[in-house]
Amino acid sequence: MKLPFAESYKIKMVESLRRSTRQEREEWIKEANYNLFKLRSEHVFIDLLTDSGTGAMSDRQWSEMMLGDESYAGASSYFKMKDTIKEITGFEYFLPTHQGRAAENVLFSALVKAGDIIPGNSHFDTTKGHIEFRKAKAVDCTIAEAFDTTINHPFKGNIDLEKLEDVLKSHPKEKIPFIVVTVTCNSSGGQPVSMQNLRDVKQLADKYGIMLIYDSARFAENAYFIKTREEGYTHKSIREIVLEMFSYADAMTMSSKKDAIVNMGGFIALRSKELFEKASVFTIMFEGYITYGGMSGRDMNALAQGLREGTEFDYLETRISQVAYLGQRLVNFGVPVQQPFGGHAIFVDAKRFLPHLPKEQFQAQTLAVELYLESGVRGVEIGALLADRDPDTRENRFPMLELLRLTIPRRVYTNNHMDYVATALANVFERRNSIVKGLRITGEAPIMRHFTVDLAREM
């Protein structure tokens, strides 16, 4: 018999969870103004808000913490991280930062100016935020298939090469500082980009003399999908695939809170000495000296170890199979989700779940609130609240996809937790026609509003 699948680790330490009552949750969500970011974590039973910084570190990572060198300049921890990044990504230069958006802040300060155009595949919200904050524009060139959750395309993170070339052709080179490719593409559902697509984008970038940067938070999950879905890569190791992926890029920004499995950290890695020197000035201004950039020595050590563990096939198989396990349970219950399943999360299609609710009442956020009330499970809206207002017209932007993301932290929950989540959502699905009122905004910030927005139930 073929042996069944099993986790590539065992558990050494546990943290207690408490289940609450529906009545308690009614009170807590009202106090939080129907914004799940405003809940206390102890009021959540299973927390699928994000996979960012929520993973469980390994015994080896914790041992590395004890070996951290906290010297202000030239710490051995810095060199440990530098050597690991060189080995795994091939990039010669690197700058530590305290998280992914800090890497964007530093690099974009060196590269982006007002009026610039930055094409990419559904830019993540902090990336878009850092572009729009500088009065530049992010242009989405993702393939059309990504926006239909029923189409089963293996690489829904791919760039539409025609759309990209149109952008490159129709603007002067000086206006396009770089192309950004997000691997895997979070906003379209944790969907991977194929090696062929990365190669083709690089060719176009070279043709027009434009830099190519990867937003790399989940680069290892992307490599896993290339290995398991793309012809010619089955027999290559994850590390070989990762090296090839990065060989087509000029630079990368990294949120290490994802595929490097640490609770906090990030970096920029790049090939150009000149750009490294230019960006270093901003690192010193915003993050700290260039050999620590907002990170403790112990955290840099754990990050280096996490990068190694995060690029092991067995670990990635465990992780991505768990996400697919939840996805399959939901599909069995008839719940509409983005297909194929993503790397870090299952994305529930709220437009198909609550088609009778007008989009102005925030379908995905309404669904997130209903799931929390049902079960104490916290997911997150990836829809109109997150899409924010158009910076010029100040009108609400309604994206093509209105999703509830169930994001799975790394090495944290068991498949029994996944069963609980799937059953809870199936219960909400069963009573979906009784959900006739959505939510309305009562207060919001001028940019990245979804974190702090206040909502009320629609009358």
Catalytic residue positions, numbered: 72, 124-125, 215, 217, 258, 450
Stretch that binds ligand F0G, among 93-101, 166-174, 192-200, 311-319 (CB under 6 A): 93-101
Q: Which of 131, 289, 277, 319 is nearest to 213 (CA)?
A: 131
Cβ pair 159, 168 in contact under 8 A: no
Give 350 or 357: the residue with its C-beta nearer to ligand F0G. Answer: 350
**Residue 366 is a binding residue for ligand F0G (CB under 6 A):** no
Q: Which 51-70 residues touch ligand F0G, going by CB under 6 A? A: 52
| Cβ partners under 8 Å of residue 433, min gap 6 | 356
Q: 124 vs 282, which CB is nearer to ligand F0G?
A: 124
Binding window for ligand F0G (CB under 6 A); candidates: 62-70, 120-128, 284-292, 420-428: 120-128
Choice between 50 and 305, CB closer to ligand F0G: 50
Min dist. Cβ of residue 402 to ligand F0G (A): 17
Q: How far is CA 185 from CA 115, 249, 369, 448, in A?
A: 25, 16, 25, 19
Cβ at position 1, least distance to ligand F0G in Å: 39
Residue nearest to ligand F0G (CB): 100
Answer for which of 101, 128, 130, 227 binds ligand F0G (CB under 6 A) is 101
What is the x/- site pattern for ligand F0G, positions 237-256, by CB under 6 A?
------------------x-
Cα 38 to Cα 21, 257, 265, 444, distances in angstroms: 18, 21, 23, 13
Site string for ligand F0G, 136-175 (x = CB under 6 A): ----------------------------------------
Q: How many residues in the shown chain lie near ligand F0G by CB under 6 A? A: 15
List binders of ligand F0G among 169-228 (CB under 6 A). Answer: 182, 186, 215, 217
As measured in angstroms, the least distance from the Cβ of 24 to ligand F0G is 26
Neighbour-count burial of 244, counting CB atoms closer than 10 A to its CB (0-12 exposed, 13-18 middle, 19+ buried): middle
Stretch that binds ligand F0G, among 124-132, 287-295, 298-306, 369-377 (CB under 6 A): 124-132
Given 68, 100, 157, 297, the residue binding ligand F0G (CB under 6 A): 100
Stretch that binds ligand F0G, among 98-106, 155-163, 396-404, 438-446 (CB under 6 A): 98-106
Mark the segment that binds ligand F0G (CB under 6 A) among 96-104, 151-159, 197-205, 293-301. 96-104
Closest CB to ligand F0G among residues 43, 98: 98
Q: Which residues bind ligand F0G (CB under 6 A)?
A: 50, 52, 99-101, 124, 126-127, 182, 186, 215, 217, 255, 257, 266
